[in-house]
Amino acid sequence: MNKRFLTIVSLIFTAALLRLIPHAPNFSPIGAVALFGGAYLNRKYLAYIIPIAAMIVSDLFLPFYGIEVLITYAGFLVSIFIGTQLKNNLTWYNVAFGSMVSSFAFFLITNFVFFYPASMGPLYTHDLAGVMNSYIAGWPFFQNTFASDLVYNGILFGAFYLMQVNIPELRAEKIKAS
């Protein structure tokens, strides 16, 4: 394990543990952890395993909300995937765009499923109006998710960029052409 890898993993786990600090509803670093891990962990399996492990560790200290938590993880996996797509073209613009797309995908996935929650019984009618009501009810939470993803992605990606500028060992090694 090299310093770069350990630094990336440390940033991921530190950010995930920030979920334990009191915060506004849905204003947490989890979306950023997923995007950052997907973008910076070079091996694809690690890009998924490490952010998920960080989320599981932080979840151990939070109340369990039933089977719906698996849907949250599904949204998290989509954010990791988006991060893996950024890997070869990390610009501030792409990170911001990836952050916005991740937030929106997470909102669509989690609110569609919460339209028919398994553990609480149906909250909405099982038709288009019910789905729309689920999205409308989730809108205030989406606004916080969207804002927190932009803020925490700015912090994670920005901090690691500055670290790479100032600490040569953290820079990615360039592959030499043979």
Encode pLDDT of 94-109 as tens digits: 999 999 999 999 999 9
In the chain, the number of structural domains is 1
Q: In the numeric block, which tokens belong to residue 82?
A: 């988006």
Is residue 25 domain-resident? yes
Q: Is 144 a residue whose pLDDT tops 60?
A: yes
Closest CA to 113 of 74, 82, 77, 148: 74
What value does the mean pLDDT of the chain take?
88
Nearest to 115 by CA among 98, 101, 135: 135
Q: Global pTM?
A: 0.88
Q: Tell me the residue range of the domain where 36 lies.
A: 3-170
Dihedrals phi, psi of 89, to nearest 5 degrees: -145, 65
